């Protein structure tokens, strides 16, 4: 951030009066430009004993498998965002259940949320951000080709909790950028 989005003047990086950390502050109109973490909201879509995954058609992690998820938009709820992303990436109609996992990724200022959901039908397919969409049994999950740690961890929790028969909220912090392979 170099310029004030309110008046177009140059911004400074300094601690505003009464604050305790550096912010972008306009040198002219004094507007403080806060930046805050963003939410990525998504879904763990289940059909019988299978999980739906999408093969990414975009960077980062082109060609790797992921759960449908994306940046939460203004004006929607976390659940609406999860349903929207499931539609956009997998053309999947889903009945959403409880919030299931929450991951903090403070090194990139992101909070991931995944809801459990049930596929309403087998009528699904790749949206523009996906190369393929498919259903996987536990033994067929492409563990070595998953896009992100949050996807791996959500799947691991799910297969564990499915054996236990209940799905408590799972929260976890991922503090560093993962080395490859995950």
Query: How many residues interact with a second copy (rule CB under 8 A)?
Result: 41
Q: Which of residues 68-107 bind a second copy (CB under 8 A)?
A: 71-80, 98-99, 102, 104, 106-107
Tokens coding 119: 């596929």
Interatomic CA distance for residues 141 and 66, integer angstroms: 11
Interatomic CA distance for residues 135 and 158, integer angstroms: 15
Give 132: exposed, middle or buried? Use CB within 10 Å, 0-12, 13-18, 19+: middle
- Give strand ranges (E) for the chain: 11-14, 23-26, 32-33, 38-47, 50-56, 65-66, 69-71, 94-105, 110-119, 130-137, 170-173
Q: Which of residues 31-70 bind a second copy (CB under 8 A)?
A: 33-39
Tokens coding 84: 């929207």
Residue whose CB is less far from a second copy, 6 or 120: 6
Contact call for residue 2 and a second copy (CB under 8 A): yes
Residue for token pair 């996807």: 151
Residue whose CB is less far from a second copy, 20 or 144: 20
Residue whose CB is less far from a second copy, 14 or 137: 14
Residue whose CB is less far from a second copy, 80 or 118: 80
Q: Which of residues 140-169 bind a second copy (CB under 8 A)?
A: 168-169
- Chain residues in the site for a second copy (CB under 8 A): 1-8, 10-11, 21, 24, 33-39, 71-80, 98-99, 102, 104, 106-107, 109, 111, 168-169, 171, 173
């Amino acid at each position: 951030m170099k310029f004030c989005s309110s008046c177009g003047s140059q911004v400074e990086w300094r601690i505003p009066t009464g604050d305790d950390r550096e912010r972008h502050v306009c040198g002219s109109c004094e507007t403080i430009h806060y930046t805050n973490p963003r939410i990525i909201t998504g879904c763990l879509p289940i059909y019988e004993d299978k999980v739906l995954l999408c093969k990414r058609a975009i960077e980062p992690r082109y060609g790797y498998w992921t759960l449908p998820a994306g940046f939460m938009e203004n004006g929607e709820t976390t659940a609406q965002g999860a349903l929207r992303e499931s539609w956009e990436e997998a053309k999947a109609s889903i009945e959403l259940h409880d919030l299931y996992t929450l991951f903090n990724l403070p090194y990139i200022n992101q909070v991931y949320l995944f809801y459990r959901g049930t596929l309403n039908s087998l009528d699904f397919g790749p949206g523009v951000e996906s190369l393929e969409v498919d259903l996987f049994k536990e033994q067929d999950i492409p563990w070595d080709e998953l896009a992100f740690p949050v996807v791996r961890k959500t799947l691991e929790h799910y297969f564990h909790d499915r054996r236990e028969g209940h799905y408590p909220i799972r929260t976890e912090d991922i503090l560093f950028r993962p080395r490859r392979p995950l």
